[in-house]
Amino acid sequence: MFPPALLKGDELYEHEASAPYDASRDLSKYLLMHYGSLEDVFHQSGHPLAMAHGYCQRLSDLLRSCAQRTGTSVARALDVGCSVGGVTHALGAWVTDQVVGVDISRRSVEIAQALTHHGGGTFSVIEQGPFHREVSILVEPGDRARVAFEVGDANALRVGEQPFDAVVLSNVLDRVARPAACLEQFTGSTAILRTGGLLMVACPWSWYPEYSHPDEWLGSAATGTPSETALKALLAGHFDLVAEVDEPGVLRQNPREYDYFESHVTVWRKR
């Protein structure tokens, strides 16, 4: 069976007035960031930004390490704001029962589902001007056997029959309308995350008024409180901090332009 074409080259040049996160160019960039090899992203192993490659896998590895260190059994995990599913599939390699990825972008979810069903796919990436190239990616069977995706709002997560053992919020808090309310789904209840479960929050804290009103942003210029401190204040009453690191990532625009970011990553255990 031939892998499906997730994104075709001509789609990259269409003028799109689509829903947020559904534009073909953006999806192409996230597919490359989530699944592309070092050579797919940079064309060379010695690129100055090579250390930022593999962001999704590193988040999964950190959560697994924290689970082992704290003796936390992770049978079910939830990936909130999963985009095209890179972290979700990485979690599927070690979470023992089920991983659910949730994203507000229907098109992202459909692409993630196609990757899960077919075990891979092809997509086009911009090279320069009218030039593009095709990239092929594979998702290992062990990374997709227990993975599912659904459309959902990070501020209104669906409550299932039982809570999850781990929840990942990756690059999503600065893209939701009410970030504090998003976190309250885990601090104020055990419906989504069980007692003793792990919560990972990864965010570069890139606040923009088009996503959330400045009054909703975590932190305050008036009090000199950065987002990192505000996050800890919101979670400390309900969680114990397990790990805190900075993780680099990179989003490729074209072979000469890359968006580098450094996410503040914390892992917490719910009391």
CATH of the domain at 86: 3.40.50.150
Tell me: pLDDT of 214 over 90: yes
Confidence of residue 16 (pLDDT cuts 50, 70, 90): low
What pLDDT, on the 0 to 100 scale, is given for residue 144?
74
Tell me: pLDDT of 236 over 80: yes
Pairing of strands 131-138, 120-128: antiparallel
Backbone angles phi, psi at 144, to 5 degrees: -135, -5
Residues 6+ apart with CB under 8 A from 46: none
Domain with 166 in it: 5-270
- Spatial distance between the Cα atoms of 29 and 34, rounded to a whole number of angstroms: 9
- Spatial distance between the Cα atoms of 214 and 207, rounded to a whole number of angstroms: 8
The interaxial angle of helices 179-187 and 227-235, nearest 10 deg, is 30
Write down the pTM of the prediction: 0.94
Q: How many CA atoms lie within 13 A of 50 on its CB side?
A: 11
Q: Which long-range contacts (CB under 8 A, 24 or more apart) does 221-229 make?
A: 227/174, 227/203, 227/264, 228/264
Confidence of residue 2 (pLDDT cuts 50, 70, 90): low
What pLDDT, on the 0 to 100 scale, is given for residue 141?
85
What pLDDT, on the 0 to 100 scale, is given for residue 15?
67
Written as six digits, the tokens of 27 are 């999806």
Written as six digits, the tokens of 221 are 């210029």
Domain count, the chain: 1
What pLDDT, on the 0 to 100 scale, is given for residue 12?
76
Tell me: pLDDT of 1 over 60: no
Tell me: pLDDT of 17 over 60: no
Tell me: pLDDT of 193 over 90: yes
- Summarize pLDDT for 89-134 with one digit per residue, the tens: 999 999 999 999 999 999 999 999 999 999 999 999 999 888 999 9
Rounded to the nearest integer, the mean pLDDT of the chain is 94
Residues 6+ apart with CB under 8 A from 192: 78, 157, 159, 163, 164, 167, 185, 186
Strand partners, 58: none
What pLDDT, on the 0 to 100 scale, is given for residue 188?
86
Cα-based distances in Å from 124 to 7, 38, 108, 233? 6, 16, 15, 43
The interaxial angle of helices 24-35 and 106-118, nearest 10 deg, is 40
Tell me: pLDDT of 195 over 80: yes
In this structure, the number of other CB atoms found within 10 A of the CB of residue 227 comes to 20
- Spatial distance between the Cα atoms of 70 and 134, rounded to a whole number of angstroms: 42
- Summarize pLDDT for 52-71 with one digit per residue, the tens: 999 999 999 999 999 999 99
Tell me: pLDDT of 38 over 60: yes
